Structure 1
């Protein structure tokens, strides 16, 4: 074995190596920019120095309460400053933060608290009834800390102590837990679990650190961004943006409820430059009254992901003057790990052409090591011809540690040395990937593969359609045919017919891809706002469609 001279007697030591952890971001923000605003919630404004002190006091109080390194601390709360603080305070005492989806029911919350073995639950009284229901299903209950938000009075306090009183028990001179190994867990996030119990996805300090930096690079954020919290912090830890905003010493503008008027007002009042949201949020903003949209005179940047955003939705946002960046990822990849990186030569294209380019998922983010579209069986990459379908695979530091207490599922997800996303895509000649469907959602009609996303994209171009979802419907002749479920925009002409929509689709795509059936009405969604296609498949094939 040959040893390089560069590796001889040149070892890691305290002077030249430290484990990567996003805890260092808030330490730096507080020391370099102590007086700059860190969080905004109504009239409450806190500086980075004040926020850092609150985090240290929370970490200290948690440790005094018996929270040890490796223990789970859960939080069930909206996008408040306290939720942001927990992203630093909990790992500061060596514990693992578990941010729970605020839209879950009591049974799901009870499962998560028990599966995570949470020692403490920080919660907001808006969700007190859910927590009380969860506790009725549990034998061992965590210690409860109530957030007392002065701007919210509904619900009851059910905890052992209020958040600010708990902080008073802590020490602002507390020395944060030293992270010796960046592979240690930092957070625990649960998948939505639409067809069973959710899986616990474990993040490590290294991945959280790197994706936070990756966010700022891929979005070109610069120093001191003003960021609006439209994206839930419970969702992949807000796509790691709590740590990103600390790294860039920016401003966190808190938002309890995602409503068009609240968003537009915050953008204008706080001069928000950045926010994230699923396509459903963008669609809501597109459909808002013109009066709300008026008066924005600065650059606003939007990052979107989730279900593949239809080009029409992106075009609508850009027509408002918002710059849209499309990203892609999963809970298992710390949120966004793929970005539709923009090229200057695309600026001269038409608005429709630019929207179409932006609707592609893109290329690997700066900190993702590997991305490919490959045959799910052979793991051989598919041709970059924009036509051959394969599964998306990721590899590297932006992939989870694994699923908590679920080694079999973890091993299956990492089979072949790559993370299996379950999403089907094509690979274009320029290296950009474009999702065509989830593997379970592809429609096979007469031997031809039909992408439900492609059909949905066409439906979204119709001026009356607010939401659309396409699923496979059993057909004696063709095997399967596309069945579209659509929700019309408020105030839209309800006289529109099934035939008119089918004809519209046939005008914009191959006839065999157009839906054979249209069902009007609201679409069922998961607690994270994703359309529940499995319920729509059941309705298309089992129950009589109901039209409005």
Structure 2
């Protein structure tokens, strides 16, 4: 299903409510505006399988662009608005966007616009900046004018599209995750993701879904899509705030919500009188994913909110899923659930051999559905496949083990992935930047535990001969800030005489010295 069905039945029902302003996008408006944007794209030569990129803060236009892409058979990439201009422009270029929607409210908007002159159809959301920055938006369309000029006539056939979100690459460049092709139409009800979330979590016409996270992440974007496919209302926060999240649940009588463990931790740290001041009884399901949740945090949330806490383990790649309920989590603390919704779990050794219960290995999911591809990266795609079952078994590199009841536990990531507050950070990307600095001879980036974020990146740096550590940490951070998003910059920088490497040059991270006192903190 899609917004057109609900627009015909109840055009004035809110499809999206912006939590901070109470602004409402009705189903009638969502249907009309997404259709007009889709028709504009078609008139400009956009075809099934073409790509559209959107970069904006949480706002209605992301949702409108999502449905415009879905109803043209297009592929939408929502770009992380917290990246640097260079990082953002790389994604817009790499995804081969034929259409690019950019919010001029973003601090990096003018820089990104200047680096993306090659996109055929560039549309700015909001007014162009004043002064010299306005020059880079010369020739850009203006979003509202584009919609006004576009046809509101619905085509006879609307092939269904999909999203292509980006996962950071271990070689320093993020890669688009291209889903398998389908022959679905926009009105079809057999969309696997929507059907699965409906079966698991009961999304329906009376759903009120609270989204406290950025819509450039896979889960919020796809849960909003599922909410609209079922005729519910999505309440979108501009940013997460612990107390305001509770207030929004009470105000809108939210039935469904999606979180990362860091959000749980921050809400649990609110004073008792604040936590008890809000009525949360409307919640039926509070879903969390994206990062490991400490068992004691989950237990505290279940004690507070009741048995509505649900966890799933999966990935943007969509290769598989495990789920675990509140009751199961209390019986199996630390587990991320059992297989079933999207395939069978296999734990495999270094040669691909399947391991018995209790042994740690690489996690593969076996699925009958069409597997994803890493866009324009055959090598990375090939490395994600099982050597003996390349057409049906895939992995994202996580390590784990199954117990005797086939509950899955995550051990570590072969890629060294750092998950900070639900955001993926690959050490290699940071290391690749640091080694370019003349004052640095060798470097290693790892994650260290953090009470709120789960993990944060820290760096071990071997300085060049004659370079002292005084003031160097601050200079390194400032230098990194020119090329990397702030959340990727190491929280601590530890200067060491030499990094532990094997004769072949492989870094042995377990032999890194104990950090001891913080050497330098951002």
Q: Which residue of 1 aligns with 2:209?
A: 227
2:373 paired residue among 402, 407, 414: 402
1:427 and 1:434 in contact (8 A); partners too:
yes
Contact 2:321 2:343 in 1 (8 A): no
Within the candidate set 311, 318, 323, 1:326 is matched to: 311
What CA distance in whole angstroms lies between the structure 2 residues aligned with 1:530 and 1:340?
A: 30
| Shift in CA distance, 395/487, structure 1 to aligned 2, threshold 3 Å | closer
Does residue 1:307 correspond to 2:291, yes or no? yes
User: Which residue, out of 173, 184, 187, partners 2:153?
Assistant: 173
Change over 3 Å in CA distance of 1:304–1:376 after alignment to 2: farther
Match of 1:203 among 179, 184, 191: 179
Alignment of 1:373-522 (within 5 A): 373-380=347-354, 382-384=355-357, 387-396=358-367, 400-415=371-386, 416-417=389-390, 418-441=393-416, 485-487=448-450
Q: Does 1:283 align with 2:283?
A: no
Gaps of 5+ in 2: 185-189, 428-445, 454-479, 495-508
The secondary structure found in structure 2 opposite 1:55 is: helix
8 Å CA contact retained: 1:26, 1:247: yes
Q: TM-score with structure 2 length normalisation? A: 0.73
Partner residue of 2:194 out of 170, 192, 212: 212
Give the direction of change, closer, same or farther, for the CA distance of 1:194–1:544 in structure 2 (3 Å limit): farther
Q: TM-score, length-normalised on structure 1?
A: 0.69
Q: Which moved more, 1:161-170 or 1:278-287?
A: 161-170
Task: Using the TM superposition, give the Cα deviation of residue 117 of structure 1 relative to its aligned residue in structure 2, in angstroms.
Answer: 1.7
Summarize the Cα distance change of 1:484–1:111 in structure 2 as closer, same or farther, 3 Å threshold: closer
Tell me how far apart the structure 2 counterparts of residues 32 and 263 of structure 1 sit (CA, whole Å): 30
| CA 1:540–1:296: 2 relative to 1, 3 Å | farther
1:285 Cα deviation (Å)? 1.7
Distance 2:53 2:156 in 1: 19
Q: 1:407 to 1:488 in 2, by over 3 A?
A: closer
CA shift for structure 1 position 102:
1.6
Aligned residues: CA RMSD: 3.9
Residue 345 of structure 2: aligned partner: 371
Task: Work out the number of aligned pairs and report it.
Answer: 435
Asked if residue 101 in structure 1 is aligned to residue 80 in structure 2, the reply is: yes
Residue segments in structure 1 that go unaligned for 5+ positions in a row: 1-23, 347-353, 443-451, 457-468, 472-482, 491-523
Change (3 A) 1:45 1:546: same
Alignment of 1:35-434 (within 5 A): 35-41=12-18, 42-127=21-106, 129-138=107-116, 140-148=118-126, 159=137, 160-175=140-155, 177-179=157-159, 186-193=162-169, 195-204=171-180, 206=182, 209-236=191-218, 238=220, 240-293=222-275, 294-300=277-283, 301-321=285-305, 323-333=308-318, 337-341=321-325, 354-355=329-330, 357=332, 359-366=334-341, 368-380=342-354, 382-384=355-357, 387-396=358-367, 400-415=371-386, 416-417=389-390, 418-434=393-409
> Partners of 1:176 and 1:245 in 2: how far apart?
25
